[in-house]
Amino acid sequence: MRNIISVSVIIGIFIISVTTTSFAASLFQQRCAGCHGSTGNKHALGTSPLLKGQSKEDIIKKLNGYQEGTYGGSKKNIMQSQVKSLSDEQIEKLAEEISGF
């Protein structure tokens, strides 16, 4: 019985991990990759800094700034439309995904 419970817990943790990773990767592909490249290696609209190599903390700060309208230059409206509906948890997962590039 103990073995069954242990295996069930391990499988549950694995499923949560895969689902979270897949969610963040999918969110990035849907909302970000078109402009920033599939691994954050493209200058969006030819002007933005690369996402690749940025820390999770910096990405969270910038995404929150876009949501609040306190970060970004002349093209921030594009980013605001991409991030305005994201929850804090989604921003954290997305930033974790991006910082791994």
- Note the pLDDT of residue 17: 47
Element (H, E) at 50: none
pTM over 0.95: no
pLDDT band, residue 75 (cuts 50/70/90): confident
